Amino acid sequence: MKWKCSKRYFELQFAYGVKMHAIILAGGKGTRLLPLTEELPKPLIPVAGMPMVAHVMNALIEAGVTELTFAVSWDTYVPIKACFSRKYKDIAINYSIEDYPLGSAGAIGKACELNRPTRSFFVVNADVITSASLANMRSVHDSFDAPYPFVSILLHKTEMTGDFGIVELGTGRKVQKFLEKPASGTTSSKLINAGIWIFSERVIERLPTDSFARVEETLFPDLVKDEGGLVGITDEGAYWADLGTPEALLAGAEYMRHSTKPLIHESAVIEIDARISNSEIGAGTTVSSNAIISNSLIWDSVTVGANAKIYDSIIGNNAIIEENARISRAVIGPYVQVSAEFHVRDCAMKSENRNRN
């Protein structure tokens, strides 16, 4: 069944000045992407020519969101604010800063304490992308108009359920069970929590503001016990990805480019006989003669030497790949120097250089 969403519905909301709020959870350390996240927070990792989180922000704006709040740690606040400041595409941005980790529930509660929504609002993880229409999700959520606290969660069907919360969906979109990363064989459901939610404003009172808690372990299971408290909205087979691992990052970047043709920054210098396919080349990067780059993400100011070969890999800012080096299925951190003739395969490398200028 296809979702239906009235364009006039959203036009009327804007005409009457109805604010639509969203909270973006962006305080995590991105450990699964180390060493890439040692100097660049995960939300700012480049994907298809823009920071990862910009794709999330664009989807929210398309859904009619008029105000954004980043829930951040001190480590992520400084670079994210430097990137976006207080406005993105004429949408106001606020920052809710955690002095210590609060988990998803505590981060949402603290963000609402800073800037309390007066109606239902989106909560989105900074590292998920989807082709699903968030405007349609919002329309379905609003159609419930329930007088009690409830949350709608976007659900994605996948065979790879091991690292996600799994949902058993009943009639009328009501969630019968919410199982956070259950053991194999616990359930036959293939519907996972996609990390995109809509909270009714009545739920705010049930969120902590100064203690660690995760909605996946506390609020969501509790709402399942309340009849109709947790609503599941399937994404109807849309593309969805959690970009928290190198493999997912490569696949997601290819999807977001909408093409296997290389995406090369205008300031990059590429020798005419270098061969680049299904890859991204960042600003100020140089690729020398006879180099081969395939299905890879090459960030800014990277030097790729003559005859170097890079396959299925991610190369961080300012890395140096010397001539005839071969890199396959690897993550090369910022400032790493891979020596000439050296082969790197199925591993991650970080720089030991502590004297960077």
| pLDDT tens per residue, range 142-196 | 988 777 779 999 999 988 767 788 889 888 788 988 888 877 777 888 899 999 9
Give residue 87's pLDDT. 93
Q: How far apart are CA 106 and CA 25, in angstroms?
A: 11
Q: What average pLDDT does the structure give for the chain?
A: 90
Q: Give the CATH class of 7-257.
A: alpha beta
Q: Greater confidence, 205 or 147? A: 205
- pLDDT band with cut points at 50, 70 and 90 for residue 353: low
Please state the pTM of the whole predicted model. 0.90
Question: Is the bond preceding 43 in cis, omega lying within 30 degrees of 0?
Answer: no
β-partners of residue 147 are none
pLDDT over threshold 50, residue 230: yes
Q: What are phi and psi of 84, to 5 degrees?
A: -110, -20
CB atoms within 10 A of CB 275: 14
Q: 47-56, 163-172, 342-351: which has the minimum mean pLDDT?
A: 163-172
pLDDT over threshold 90, residue 74: yes
263-349 CATH choice from 3.90.79.10, 2.160.10.10, 3.40.190.10, 2.70.98.60: 2.160.10.10
Domain layout of the chain by residue ranges: 7-257, 263-349
